[in-house]
Amino acid sequence: MDDSSRIARFRSASVVAYRSIRDLTEREKKHLLSEILQVRGLMPLLMKPRNKQLWTPEDKAELKVHLRRLSDISPYLLVLALPGSFLMLPALAWWLDRRRNRQHPAAPTT
């Protein structure tokens, strides 16, 4: 095998790897943005007890939804917020891959 064919294979593999990383980044950026936009009404809801208002059952249900969304994006926030968190990127990659490949159980039918 000559050097030119090795270089061509390396370039081809590099292009595939670059496109894969670019697509992954774009997909995760869209997911993160959509989740952050969904959590917009959380602060006024959290401030109700401080403003001497009670949470209604609807408010409590909305709080649960917001907290679930925040738990989904917490690994992103951890990597972005903590000093030295750049070192956590391999753990984040593992967590994202584990989450994407997880088998979703069928919803129980009643």
Q: What is the pLDDT of residue 5?
A: 87
As a whole number of angstroms, the distance between CA 29 and CA 33 comes to 6
Kindly indicate the confidence band of residue 104, based on its pLDDT and cuts at 50, 70 and 90.
Answer: low
What type of residue is 41? G
| pLDDT digit string, tens, across residues 46-85 | 888 888 899 999 999 998 988 888 877 777 776 666 666 6
As a whole number of angstroms, the distance between CA 92 and CA 32 comes to 14
Across the range 83-107, mean pLDDT stands at 67
CA angle 33, 34, 38 (to 5 degrees): 115
Q: Does residue 54 lie in a domain region?
A: yes
Domain count within the chain: 1
Across the range 83-91, mean pLDDT stands at 70
Q: Does residue 19 lie in a domain region?
A: no
Average pLDDT across the chain, whole number: 78
Q: What is the pLDDT of residue 60?
A: 92
Q: Does residue 70 lie in a domain region?
A: yes
Write down the H helix ranges in the chain: 3-38, 42-46, 57-81, 89-101
Tell me what percent of the residues of the chain surpass a pLDDT of 90.
7
Which one of 12-21, 33-42, 56-65 scores highest in mean pLDDT? 56-65
Q: Over 70: is that where the pLDDT of 35 sits? A: yes
Tokens, residue 69: 């969304």
- Contact predicate 62/41, CB 8 Å: yes
Q: Does residue 20 lie in a domain region?
A: no
- Contact predicate 59/48, CB 8 Å: yes
- Whole domain around residue 39: which residue ranges? 33-81
